[in-house]
């Protein structure tokens, strides 16, 4: 399982897992970051499934172990962060999954501990917060964020030539040409921001305190039909 969501919906997540797994056993949880929307329910889901291992970037181990209220963002959700025992995962590790393997990628930018998980045989990447959604760029303007690292991470994703990208929220981005269009749009935005000393445009609405993404004032195209209509 990659990412678990918040504690708010952990019972629903367990029900969904049961429907997908059937008689198959859940063996481990891989987390894309310490942010509460991605990891809050990890401890509970692990416990229910027999204390299976939870993996996260080494820099997040301490915050997860102590249930850090601030760097996990649990405070932004007016929630507690359960103490969660995790094992470190670093760039280039490989985990077996059925008839394929998942390779880990370090993808900082939104956070220093950002990780992605790539299933090369099918060209599927779970991207985490570095790519929140096709039409929503990631935030770098907060503790742990770094604009140059975010740009580098998106370039790494671009070089993978994925067939499908599962963003942090919203629909899967499908097809190499469409993925290329999406990534180029995000990269162009961030490179323009870099030229403006990393400042968010004043015309963009102020994000909610729980938002790990920005919302364009004029909606970005989301699917291939919209791209063709708007000339990319």
Report how far apart, in Å, the C-alpha atoms of 115 and of each of 51, 60, 109, 137, 174 are. Answer: 22, 11, 10, 17, 20
Tell me, yes or no, if the two domains 1-89 and 90-232 fold the same way.
yes
Architecture of the domain spanning 90-232: 4-Layer Sandwich (3.60)
Of the CATH numbers 3.10.180.10, 1.20.210.10, 3.60.15.10, 3.40.50.300, which one belongs to the domain with range 1-89?
3.60.15.10
Tell me the whole-structure pTM to 2 decimals. Answer: 0.93
Residue 45 is given by DSSP the state H
Residue 99's pLDDT is 80
Residue 149's pLDDT is 98
Residue 222's pLDDT is 81
Give mean pLDDT in consecutive 10-residue pieces for the chain, a chain of 232 residues. Answer: 94 92 92 97 96 98 96 94 97 90 97 97 96 96 94 97 95 95 97 92 92 94 59 46
Residue 7 is given by DSSP the state G
Detail the DSSP E strand segments found in the chain.
29-30, 54-56, 87-88, 94-97, 100-106, 115-119, 124-128, 164-167, 173-174
Residue 127's pLDDT is 97
Residue 224's pLDDT is 58
What residues does each domain of the chain span? 1-89, 90-232
């Amino acid at each position: 399982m990659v990412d678990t969501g918040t504690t708010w919906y952990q019972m629903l997540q367990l029900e969904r897992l049961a429907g997908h797994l059937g008689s198959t056993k859940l063996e481990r949880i891989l987390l894309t970051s310490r942010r509460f929307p991605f990891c809050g329910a990890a401890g509970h889901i692990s416990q229910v499934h027999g204390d299976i291992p939870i993996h996260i970037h080494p820099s997040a181990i301490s915050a997860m172990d102590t249930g850090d209220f601030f760097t996990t963002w649990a405070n932004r959700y007016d929630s507690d962060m359960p103490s969660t025992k995790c094992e470190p995962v670093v760039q280039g590790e490989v985990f077996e999954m059925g008839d394929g393997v998942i390779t880990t990628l370090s993808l900082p930018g939104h956070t220093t501990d950002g990780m992605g998980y790539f299933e090369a045989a099918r060209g599927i990447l779970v991207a985490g917060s570095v790519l929140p959604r096709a039409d929503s760029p990631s935030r770098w303007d907060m503790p742990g964020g770094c604009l140059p690292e975010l740009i580098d991470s998106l370039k790494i994703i671009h070089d993978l030539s994925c067939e499908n990208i599962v963003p942090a929220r919203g629909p899967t981005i499908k097809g190499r040409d469409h993925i290329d269009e999406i990534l180029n749009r995000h990269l162009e935005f961030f490179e323009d921001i870099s030229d403006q000393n990393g400042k968010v445009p004043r015309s963009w609405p102020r994000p909610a305190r729980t938002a790990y993404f920005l919302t364009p004032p004029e909606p970005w195209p989301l699917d291939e039909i919209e791209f063709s209509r708007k000339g990319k």
